[in-house]
Structure 1
Amino acid sequence: MTTKIILDTDPGIDDAMAILFAEASPAIELVGLTTIYGNADIDTSTRNALYLKQRFGFQCDVAKGATQPLKREPVGASVAVHGENGFGDVPIEPPTISADSRPAHQYIIEMLKASPGEITLVAVGPLTNLALALEQAPEITKLVKEVVIMGGAFGTHEHTGNVTPFAEANVHDDPHAADIVFTADWPVTVVGLDVTHEAFFSTDYIDTLRDTCGEVGEFMWDISRFYLDFYKTRMGVDGCFVHDPSAIAYVIDPDLFEVRKGPIRVVCEGPAEGLTLQKYKDTGHKTDEWANYPPQNVAVSVNDQALLDLYLDAITSYSD
């Protein structure tokens, strides 16, 4: 059975890897791409989503999203990681197709209302679009099938943050939106650094994508040069962690992951801004800012080899 998804994304090198994974997998029907600032500004993110749609023949919609966080000052695009154009500064032809006329949050609302219980929201960037949708139409919590988020870091395996000592980039970019999304009464699974730092695309693995996966593999190899240089320079590793594609892998096969259940809150200001905290022990406290919120899933372990095999199999079949 296929799962319909709307993928909220800030393309982005690993976003492109996730988008192509979703399009390639027979287990997923990619309904729409909603764009958000993050790895690039909103205009660049939207252009990149349209470029992927046009180049690889996607049938999905593309809707342009929010330009900035709900409350905090914007932190700016991740140019050091993704390059000025979001795709590792690999030249791309400007797309000749246009985005949907609806803003991303309105698109999300209308699509969920049109197909109640059928669509999973997958968010791999800052969560502003989802928060805006919730604020405008809180009833969508009863219309979504599931919400899967790449974001956050909960300290499992000592993975605590990547843009600050204790914050992951997507949550840090808009912590107020993340807190709204995590505490809403809908089913959320957070696929954060706890597991994305446990899976690794080695340089040899990405070479295999190039050599065996046709134009798609060549494109991913090209845009990953800048990304891999960042990882090599900053972390001394030959490859990259599997961030955004891990959220897609969860949708395809949740059994690849072990999850822990409990309500989640986000620190929204101060030196720990963007810190994600899950109450996973059933204990009572005099003061408890978690107690009245729904339990959500946090992925805490992953079968990394099976995830890598799943990704390679999907992209290989897609390119045949």
Structure 2
Amino acid sequence: MLDSSGPGEDRRPTTEGDPKTMKLVLDCDPGVDDAVAVMLALASPEVELLGLSTVFGNAPVDVTTRNARTLLRAGGRPDLPVAKGAHGPLVGRFGGGVPFIHGKDGLGDGNVARASEDDRPPDLSAVELLRREVLAAPGEVTLLAVGPLTNIALFARVHPEAARQVARVVVMGGNALSPGNITPGAEANIHNDPEAADIVMGFDWPVAMVGLDVTDGIVLGPAHLDAIGSGGTPAHDLLARAVPLYRQFYKDFNDIDGVAAHDPAALALLLVPDLFDTEDWPIRVELSGIGRGKTWPQTRRRPTPPPGWEGRPPVQVATGARSEAVADFIADRIAKARFGT
């Protein structure tokens, strides 16, 4: 269906009265798998995407902010706000991204279609977007964080009363029971800002952690990628162009013909929760030494928490998944989407 709205008109789908619709702010560092997650959100009728907030991570924040606009435009929703967030972690410095995985442009150096509007200044800051959207619908907004958790931690610190009105925070990051992927101890998003992650895991709001325990096994294989890339819309074309470098990385370093669906898997937990196994464990994040960035769950039942875990709230930790079914769901949902065309 062609969009007939004029300039400046709100093109959000009408969702009032639909109890299945989830209001969602996606905090991201696009990033190829972030691109897949954004398109999955746009393809999902259960989701009312309120906007994107950006953070450093897969690339510098100026790059990820530009990419956020590119993704929304390709996905048929250039009207949605893009909010620029943190350029580095709460402590220390940002290392500059991973161009050998996501490309210098963050989208696989695949010559994705750009437009002048992609370089518009951000609409507002990430923290202010989070505050605005949560206060506009107290108790209804889910925050899906698929990059370093700096923006989310700053929101909790600067506006704690507003943050307590978040419905849920879902984090792609961490490794409760599995090895890390940036060091033997730590997953990349958490390792990029461990202090922020420890704040988020300990704040007074419901948190779910979808980490390497499940995302390493949720692989979009050749058939999935072919379907995603051949849907015939600008969004599908963007994904087809962005994925090859990411796919080559997995072939060279993991001997996998396909890509791990890290970020879209976190959204899948919200959309198809029956395909995941979870446990409720308090989490602390290691802040020093060679284990910096490790997410430590308190798994043993005991009369009193061990030192350091006192007063920590339970985190819903994804521990298993029907991996092929999740990958099929992600690919099928995106492949069939029309993205505003």
TM-score scaled to structure 2, two decimals? 0.89
1:110-130: CA deviation from partner (whole Å, max 9, x where unpaired):
211121011100000000000
The 1:248–1:199 alpha-carbon spacing in structure 2 relative to 1, beyond 3 Å, is: same
Contact 1:7 1:123 (8 Å CA) reproduced = yes
Paired residue for 1:26, among 23, 45, 49?
45
1:61-72 equivalence runs, <5 A: 61-72=81-92
SS at match of 2:289: coil
* Counterparts of residues 135-150 of structure 1 (less than 5 Å): 135-150=157-172
Q: Which residue of 2 aligns with 1:313?
A: 332
- Contact 1:4–1:119 under 8 Å retained in 2: yes
After TM superposition, give the deviation of residue 106 of structure 1 in Å. 1.7
2:299 partner amino acid: Y
Distance change in 2, residues 1:154/1:128 (3 Å): same
Partner of residue 60 from structure 1, selected from 75, 80, 84: 80
- Determine if the alignment matches structure 1 residue 84 to structure 2 residue 78: no
Deviation at 1:76, TM superposition (A): 2.0
Residue of structure 2 equivalent to 1:46: 65
- Equivalent of residue 187 in structure 1, options 199, 206, 209: 206
Structure 1 residue runs without a partner (length 5+): none
Counting helix residues as a fraction of each chain, which structure ranks higher?
1
| 1:270 to 2:289 alignment | yes
RMSD between aligned alpha carbons? 1.6
1:218 is displaced (CA, Å) by: 3.0
Distance 2:227 2:265 in 1: 19
Name the CA distance, whole Å, in 2 between partners of 1:106 and 1:193.
30
For residues 3-39 of structure 1, what are the alpha-carbon distances to aligned partners after superposition, in whole Å with 9 as ceiling and x for unaligned? 0100000000000000000010111111010000000
2:275 is aligned with 1:253? no
- Per the TM alignment, residue 312 of structure 1 is displaced from its structure 2 partner at its CA by 2.6
Q: Is the 8 A contact 1:50 1:95 kept in 2?
A: no
Question: Residues 128, 144 of structure 1: CA spacing in aligned structure 2 closer, same or farther, 3 A cutoff?
Answer: same
Deviations 1:20-64 (A, max 9, x none): 000101111110100000001000000000111223221421100
Whether the 8 Å CA contact 1:47–1:94 is kept in 2: the answer is no
Amino acid at match of 1:65: G
| Aligned partner of 2:134 among 112, 116, 120 | 112
- Per the alignment, residue 255 of structure 2 pairs with 236
CA contact (8 A) 1:22 1:28 kept: yes
Q: Which runs of 5+ in 2 are unaligned?
A: 1-19
Equivalence for 1:125: 147
The residue matched to 1:154 in structure 2 has which SS?
coil
SS of 1:314 mapped into structure 2: helix
Normalising to structure 1: TM-score of the pair?
Answer: 0.94
Q: Tell me the residue number matched to 2:9.
A: none
1:203 maps to what in 2? 222
The one-character-per-residue Cα deviations of 1:143-170 (angstroms, maximum 9, x if unpaired) are 1111000000112xxx310000110000
Match status 1:75 vs 2:90: no
